[in-house]
């Protein structure tokens, strides 16, 4: 499994970010290979992000080249490029 962590800055409030996430929920539920997605906000004002859990690198790559992924900067009104970290899951505590 692959863990992808994305952090971004937005001009939107937490309530606005949560509303947009809810509106886009069904689209993300339909993404092949996306096992789970966690949304978060940082202690830093205006910083939010997502932790994606993928079944494979191929699924993550397909998503990264999708229209849904390309729509994120406009949907969340990103201020600058996001920070992206990709990690291979080495051990799972709970199945």
Q: Which domains does the chain have, with CATH numbers?
A: 2-88 (3.30.70.100)
CA atoms within a 13 Å half-sphere pointing along the CA-CB vector of 78 = 15
pTM: 0.92
What tens digit of pLDDT does each residue of 27-78 get?
Answer: 999 999 999 999 999 999 999 999 999 999 999 999 999 999 999 999 999 9
Distances (CA, A) of 50 to 17, 25, 74: 12, 13, 16
The DSSP secondary-structure symbol of 85 reads: E
């Amino acid at each position: 499994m692959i863990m992808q962590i994305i952090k971004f800055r937005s001009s939107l409030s937490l309530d606005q970010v949560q509303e947009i996430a809810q509106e886009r929920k069904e689209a993300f539920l339909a993404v092949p290979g996306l096992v789970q997605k966690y949304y978060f906000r940082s202690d830093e004002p205006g910083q939010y992000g997502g932790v994606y859990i993928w079944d494979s690198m191929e699924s993550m790559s397909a998503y990264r080249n999708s229209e849904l992924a390309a729509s994120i900067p406009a949907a969340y009104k990103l201020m600058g490029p996001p920070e992206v970290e990709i990690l291979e899951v080495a051990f799972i505590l709970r199945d």
